[in-house]
Structure 1
Amino acid sequence: MAPLVWLITGCTSGFGSLMVQQILSRGDKVIATGRTLSKLSSLQESGAAVLQLDVTDSQQSLNATIVKAIAIYGRIDVLVNNAAYIQTGAWEDLEYGEWLAEFDANVLGVIKVTRAVLPHLRERKAGTIVFLSSRSGWYGDAFCSAYSGSKFALEGIVEGLRWETEQFGIKTLMIEPGRFRTKFLSPGNLRTKQSHIPDYEEASRNFIAYLAQNEDGKQPGDPLKAVEIILDLVRKEGVAEGKEVPFRLPLGRDCYETIKEKCEETLKLLKEWEGVCTSTDLPRKE
């Protein structure tokens, strides 16, 4: 296989940083991007090209950044939409601006970056777009509604994109990680909001404490294993060799079990309520 050219958002830590290192180790080229250019210096020293890119910038600004990215190697073969963050808090505590900021980064930012790259892939009639969703794109946990909502939205818009663009030779991959041991829940990345509404206050405090004591740095998933699978799927080697690469793939036992349980519950509901669900059609004309 000829070396691929990857562009990845959110490379200052976590999956993004690991992905850059593993891509380089496989002989591909990569353009690592992030909001703060200085935080990408170690990746640049490893052989990656780097660009400043903030997914919340304007469409015009992101279009210009992608033009610069394409000029580096003459093309982009793979776009990985990785940048995201999590805002926690009860519905009644999160202000409109906080909801908007969550969706701006996790949904609208993804839309803008993808829109900037799509004409290039469509013209070449080739390419792969990888979207990092989440277990939270299937299941909404208490105090995580803003983040879950953004990932549920991502699942829908990407599924639509898949059907729009597959005719142009563009492959779409939706990766749904569970809880992996990155810095995603570290104090520098996680945005928490303690409730001061009496009815929520204790549960909110317990939730924040639980994340700090039992989740941050203690997640069960190995991010390196996840990254290796993602690269295999794109390159059609390793675990993906000789297989039809799926549109979406959950990663992590916790994500697998959550999705399996939800699917089983949904099938059970449909069976039990089929008569009601299908009773709303107008009478058929004979």
Structure 2
Amino acid sequence: MKTILITGASSGIGKVTAQYFQAKGWNVVATMRNVAGEKDLTELNHTLVTRLDVTDEDSIHAAIAEGISKFGKIDALLNNAGYGAYGALEAFSMERIRRQFDTNVIGLLSVTKAILPHMRENRSGTIINISSIGGQVTFPLGSLYHGTKFAVEGISEALHYELEPLGITVKIVEPGMIKTDFGGRSFDFAIDENLPEYAPTIESMGRLFGQLANNPSEPEVVAKVIWAAANDTSDRLRLHAGLDAEYLLDKRKLQSDAEFISGIKDLMKS
């Protein structure tokens, strides 16, 4: 029986993916910053719920060690923990800027680095990194979030070369708009009333997000793509999740920078 370790499993994509893999017969190490409030996953067989904060290295090593101790081996890692920071760059303090990169980039690197000795010793394993359409396509006010997701894409692609000779596979999953709490506790929006010059862009961005989020996919859509990634033996690196992801990412490949950016600007006006 194979085992997957999932970060950010308290809600949304992480939680649904934990449930999906458990139902498919895998062992699941479902990790989250606060395990006290978790009820659903603790009732599942072959599931270990344990604390892991991607910004706390001690908790990372402890969770991996506990997972190996319980299940013997970790076959797949899903780097899912993260959140989105949006707003004018000027509106963010350096503390909030660092928090975004510490969680979405440094945290992903920390968890990956911690599990690599185990996978290298076994000469097998799959690392699945959750990126986003925002790892290939940008929207206004997203310099921080898109910066982190573009970083995830570059890190993953480079690791693909680095780890393949060791028997370790790397996959990137790029979801579109998903029906989760991303707009709630997983969203950090900065607005500064002392910067009125950005107000028109904020208003336009609200309209654009409204259009993009008009028909979001269910988290199960992403869970199924993650399942496909974990079991994919081809050399495919990127997997899209959601019809909007398919549309936008394919369109981005076909258009020049000027054409695509012009299209985004038109959507902001409508």
TM-score, normalisation: structure 1 = 0.83
Q: Does 1:57 align with 2:53?
A: no
Q: How does 1:1-286 map to 2 (within 5 A)?
A: 3-47=1-45, 48-58=47-57, 60-186=58-184, 188-196=185-193, 197-205=195-203, 207-208=205-206, 218-236=214-232, 244=234, 246-266=236-256
Q: Is the 8 A contact 1:131 1:174 kept in 2?
A: yes
* CA distance, structure 2, for counterparts of residue 200 and residue 225 of structure 1: 35
Instruction: Check 1:163–1:133 CA distance in 2 against 1; reply closer, same or farther (3 A cut).
Output: same
Pick 1 or 2: higher relative contact order, CA cutoff 8 A, min separation 6: 2
Which letter does structure 2 place at the counterpart of 1:250? H
* CA distance, structure 2, for counterparts of residue 61 and residue 31 of structure 1: 13
SS at match of 2:188: coil
Q: Is the 8 A contact 2:82 2:186 kept in 1?
A: no
Q: Is the 8 A contact 2:128 2:229 kept in 1?
A: no
Q: CA deviation at 1:95?
A: 1.8
Which letter does structure 1 place at the counterpart of 2:241? L
Q: Is the 8 A contact 2:105 2:151 kept in 1?
A: yes
Instruction: Check 1:43–1:255 CA distance in 2 against 1; reply closer, same or farther (3 A cut).
Output: same
Q: Is the 8 A contact 1:180 1:222 kept in 2?
A: yes
Q: CA deviation at 1:52?
A: 0.3
Cα RMSD (Å): 2.2
Q: Is the 8 A contact 2:5 2:29 kept in 1?
A: yes
Paired position in structure 2 for 1:277: none
Q: CA deviation at 1:189?
A: 2.4
SS at match of 1:38: coil
SS at match of 2:129: strand
Question: How many matched pairs?
Answer: 257
Q: Is the 8 A contact 1:88 1:144 kept in 2?
A: yes
Q: Is the 8 A contact 1:185 1:215 kept in 2?
A: no
* CA distance, structure 2, for counterparts of residue 169 and residue 104 of structure 1: 28
SS at match of 1:37: coil
Q: CA deviation at 1:72?
A: 1.3
* CA distance, structure 2, for counterparts of residue 19 and residue 109 of structure 1: 20
* CA distance, structure 1, for counterparts of residue 34 and residue 54 of structure 2: 12
| Structure 1 unmatched ranges of 5 or more | 237-242, 270-286
- Point out 4+ residue stretches in structure 1 off by more than 4 angstroms: 208-211, 213-216, 266-269
- Give the share of equivalent positions with the same residue, in percent: 33
Q: CA deviation at 1:41?
A: 2.8
Q: Is the 8 A contact 1:135 1:178 kept in 2?
A: yes
Which letter does structure 2 place at the counterpart of 1:232? A
Instruction: Check 1:110–1:25 CA distance in 2 against 1; reply closer, same or farther (3 A cut).
Output: same
Q: CA deviation at 1:223?
A: 1.9
**Pair member with larger Rg:** 1
Instruction: Check 1:268–1:167 CA distance in 2 against 1; reply closer, same or farther (3 A cut).
Output: farther
Q: CA deviation at 1:226?
A: 2.3
* CA distance, structure 1, for counterparts of residue 138 and residue 221 of structure 2: 25
| Structure 2 unmatched ranges of 5 or more | 260-270
Which letter does structure 1 place at the counterpart of 2:28? V
TM-score, normalisation: structure 2 = 0.88
Q: CA deviation at 1:77?
A: 0.5
Which letter does structure 2 place at the counterpart of 1:189? S
Q: CA deviation at 1:268?
A: 9.9
